[in-house]
Amino acid sequence: MTTTIKDVALASGVSIKTVSRVLNNERYVGPSTREKVLRAVAELNFRPNHAARSLAGRRSFQVALVCDNPSPAYVYAMQQGIRDRCEADGVRVLAQPYDRGSPRLLADLDALIATSGPDGVILTPPLSDNEAVLALLAARGIRFARVSPGTRPGLAPSTFIDNVAAARELTTHLIARGHRRIAHIAGSSDYATSAQRVAGYKAAHDAAGIEIDPGFVVSGRYDFASGAEAADLLLSRAEPPTAIFAGSDEMAAGALMVAHRRGLAIPGDVAIAGFGDDALASYVWPPLTTMRQPVRELAWNAADLLLGDAEADEQRELAHALVVRAST
């Protein structure tokens, strides 16, 4: 029926152990032997059974993406970046969604580890700073990489952008455009990135010697609806902001919607900027000024840290880039 390593061994006149060596690129295989085996593999169109390799070996050839994020675009880009890197090594990606609010979070993750024993786990915000999750992975001895962590930088390899600098640059852009009353819609408080972006927003004001209206920093949950709510609040003020910098493109799109509903001209009456440069940023009207965050690359590198031979605590900072469009 299905061709196995035995068939290849038979066809090439060697033992299955030698076939295994060739398949796994081990050393100490004679060049002619290797060639014979490879020819048989090609002729029989042999593909090693994944379950058997996992069971017999110590590796599962699987990496799990553990994330709980409100943005499908973010999650999908993460998946793609991780797959891009894992495919090269013949590693599968397990991508179940998790719910950080669920009492089952830890049990679900523990079940995943017990049943599938992933070779590595990639954590994205806010789970990359979730102490219970970190403790569980440590207890189970599972390697992991973190995307955009906020706490304990040396704990594990991680990838990130400089969120403080990025938010500072974006805010500075708004100040350069002449704005003095700039509001900020922050993301969920359990995301380290939220506080980092608030810090950058404040740093830009400090540098320019501009005082921030105490009511101008409001919090959202990184999604469209919360961006709309927050913008409604801001624009209802007696002295509304002339610019709104949202901590995500989805929230910025929500703010944009509210501005349109109120009949405001953008950027004439209110300028709006986002963060991320999701596809959405280019799809709305006017297109959003935003800060490009290379999600797919953050993911690719996180997978690379797991699969390659990176230092145990290697940190990779990727470049961000201001993208100025018509909304500011």
The SS3 of residue 120 is: strand
Q: Does 19 engage in binding with a second copy (CB under 8 A)?
A: no
Binding of residue 183 to a second copy (CB under 8 A): no
- Residue 14 as a binder of DNA (CB under 7 A): the answer is yes
Q: Judged by CB under 7 A, how many residues of this single chain contact DNA?
A: 31
Question: Which two tokens mark 110?
Answer: 């523990």
Q: Quote helix, strand, coil % in the chain, to nearest 5.
A: 50, 15, 35
Selected from 10, 33, 80, 286, the binder of DNA by CB under 7 A is 33
Burial 95-109 (b: 16+ CB within 10 A, else e): beebeeeeeebeeeb
**Which residue do the tokens 């001209």 mark?**
265
Question: Residue 113 Cβ, how far from a second copy at the closest point, in Å?
Answer: 9
Which are the contacts of 307, defined by CB distance < 8 A and separation ≥ 6?
Answer: 63, 85, 86, 89, 91, 120
Taking CB under 7 A as the rule, does residue 4 contact DNA? Answer: yes
Stretch that binds a second copy, among 71-79, 179-187, 214-222, 292-300 (CB under 8 A): 71-79
Q: How far is CA 128 from CA 92, 152, 190, 193, 215, in A?
A: 21, 10, 10, 11, 30
Instruction: Single out the residue of 2, 103, 131, 238 in contact with DNA (rule: CB under 7 A).
Output: 2
For strand 290-292 and strand 271-273, is the pairing parallel, antiparallel, or unpaired? unpaired
**Residues in contact with DNA, shown as a per-residue x/- string from 36 to 75 under the rule CB under 7 A:** ----------x-xx--xx-xxxxx----------------
Helix (H, G, I), strand (E, B) or coil at 179: coil
Cβ proximity to DNA: between 20 and 188 the closer is 20
By CB under 8 A, is residue 55 in contact with a second copy? yes
- Our CB check for a second copy shows the closer of 53 and 181 to be 53
CB atoms within 10 A of CB 32: 8
Residues that bind DNA (CB under 7 A): 1-2, 4-6, 14-18, 20-21, 23-24, 27-30, 32-34, 46, 48-49, 52-53, 55-59
Interaction site with a second copy (CB under 8 A): 2, 45, 47-52, 54-55, 60, 72-73, 75-77, 79-80, 83, 87, 92, 94-97, 110-111, 114-117, 224, 250, 253-254, 256-257, 260, 279-280, 282-287
